[in-house]
A and B are shown apart, each in its own frame.
Chain A
Amino acid sequence: MPTPRTRHPFVHGALDSLPFFIVIVPFGALFGVIATEAGMNIAQVMGFSILVIAGASQLTALQLLIDNAPTVVVIVTALAVNMRMAMYSASLTPHLGANPLWKRALAAYCLYDQPFALATVEFEKRPDRSPRDKLTYFLGAGVPLGLFWYIATFLGAILGEKIPSDLGVDFAVPVTFLAVVAPMLKSLAHVAAAATSVVLVLVFSFMPYGTGLLVAAVIALVVGALVEIWTEKQRKTQ
């Protein structure tokens, strides 16, 4: 594929993010509808989507609030759901770390699943791009999605039940994530890491606050690295 040198990295990132609007828009709306129906006012609903900007943890917090869980439990559980983003942060540091602090601070705000996944694919394809271009690409992949997350939440909150909520759109989440992961499975080590993650997350599903995912993911990282070292050795001895 030719390097899109003529295309601004922000536009490039934004165009790559288009398929994810299928997920972001209905889910933002869904959050807006449920949160409003549960009794939150528009400022609170928007406060969630703008300050937290992480769908899975927002829905988790909402469910716990509806169940009347103690405030501390709501906060801790919802933050545990977002702990995977610390791994995203570490993973992007080699690519974005050379940028000035204020830009990294801005990028951190957009560090949710979709821009992270898009950036990993792009940075592996073109590792020699400047840290500045990489960060601009990342913002391109994250900022428009974020804006639509706000807009969708707002529309959900004001339109409420007029929006049909049972269209099977929840299935768009696993599909888009799988669609991102599949092209990344290009070596035995990548397949081993993915398989480890799937098996262990199901094994550890008894663990509280979604911590099973974190344990499964860290072990999967180690398995991926070990299999890669092993296959490199095999290649050398041949």
Chain B
Amino acid sequence: MIEASTTQIWIIIIAMGLGTYIIRFSFLGLIGNRPLPSWLLRMLRFTPVAVLPGVVAPMLMGSGAESMDPLRLSCALATLVVGLITRNVLYAIIAGLGLFFGLGALLG
């Protein structure tokens, strides 16, 4: 159970809300239409492939309870392969989750 007071919880909610909004607004809000140097633009184009795999990897191979689970790893691999071949987000999700819940039901 949470022992923090109502005031403390609201302080956390408001500070997190404001802080998160400032993080999101930062470049978009302050730079706006000003041109960015080409070396920076080149780097920024790699943002999704530089961040998202780093978010996913600890979920599958980190220290959590479900990490290094062979079923999850194979289904993640299936998602990646189908995504690479079809270049279609939805097919990749169907492959990964379909296999996960299908095999999960089969293996009990």
Q: CB within 8 Å of B: which residues of A?
A: 19, 22, 38-41, 44, 47-48, 51-54, 57, 61, 65-66, 68, 71, 74-75, 78-79, 82-94, 96-98, 101, 104-105, 107-109, 111, 113, 116-117, 120-121, 124, 168, 170-185, 189-190, 193-198, 200-202, 205, 213, 216-218, 220-222, 224-225, 228-229
CB <8 Å contact, B19 and A66: no
Q: Which residues of A are found within 8 Å of B43, using beta-carbon distances? A: 221-222, 224-225
SS class, residues of chain B in contact with chain A: helix
Q: Which residues of B are found within 8 Å of A225, using beta-carbon distances? A: 39, 42-43, 46
Tell me how many residues of B have a C-beta within 8 Å of chain A. Answer: 77
CB <8 Å contact, A181 and B49: yes
- Closest CB-CB distance, A208 to chain B, in whole Å? 14
- Nearest A residue to B19 via CB reads A79
Q: Which residues of B are found within 8 Å of A174, using beta-carbon distances? A: 56, 59-60, 72, 76
Q: CB within 8 Å of A: which residues of B?
A: 1-4, 6, 8-17, 19-21, 23-29, 31-34, 36, 39-63, 66, 72, 75-76, 79-84, 86-90, 92-93, 96-97, 100-101, 104
CA distance A176 to B76 in the complex (A): 10
CA distance A174 to B26 in the complex (A): 27
CA distance A97 to B59 in the complex (A): 33
Q: Which residues of A are found within 8 Å of B20, using beta-carbon distances? A: 52-54, 57, 79, 82, 85
Among B6, B15, B50, B57, point to the contact of A202 (Cβ < 8 A). Answer: B57
- Nearest A residue to B85 via CB reads A182
CB <8 Å contact, B46 and A89: no
Q: Given that A54-B20, A85-B24, A228-B42 are known contacts, is A168 also in contact with B58, CB under 8 Å in the complex?
A: no
CB <8 Å contact, B61 and A38: no
- Nearest B residue to A182 via CB reads B83
CB <8 Å contact, B49 and A71: no
Closest 5 CB pairs of A and B: A182-B83, A51-B17, A224-B46, A179-B92, A220-B50
- Nearest B residue to A111 via CB reads B24
CB <8 Å contact, A47 and B48: no
CB <8 Å contact, B28 and A107: yes
A sample of 27 inter-chain contacts (CB < 8 A) reads: A22-B93, A38-B1, A44-B10, A48-B13, A51-B13, A51-B16, A52-B16, A54-B20, A57-B16, A68-B4, A71-B8, A86-B27, A89-B27, A90-B28, A91-B47, A94-B41, A104-B29, A116-B48, A117-B48, A178-B96, A183-B89, A194-B49, A197-B54, A201-B58, A202-B57, A218-B50, A221-B50
- Nearest A residue to B79 via CB reads A178
- Closest CB-CB distance, B28 to chain A, in whole Å? 5
- Closest CB-CB distance, A43 to chain B, in whole Å? 9
- Nearest A residue to B84 via CB reads A182
- Closest CB-CB distance, B104 to chain A, in whole Å? 6
- Closest CB-CB distance, B38 to chain A, in whole Å? 10
Among A79, A85, A172, A195, point to the contact of B97 (Cβ < 8 A). Answer: A172
Q: Which residues of B are found within 8 Å of A201, using beta-carbon distances? A: 53-54, 57-58
CB <8 Å contact, A217 and B42: no
Q: Given that A174-B60, A200-B54 are known contacts, is A179 also in contact with B28, CB under 8 Å in the complex?
A: no
CB <8 Å contact, B87 and A216: no
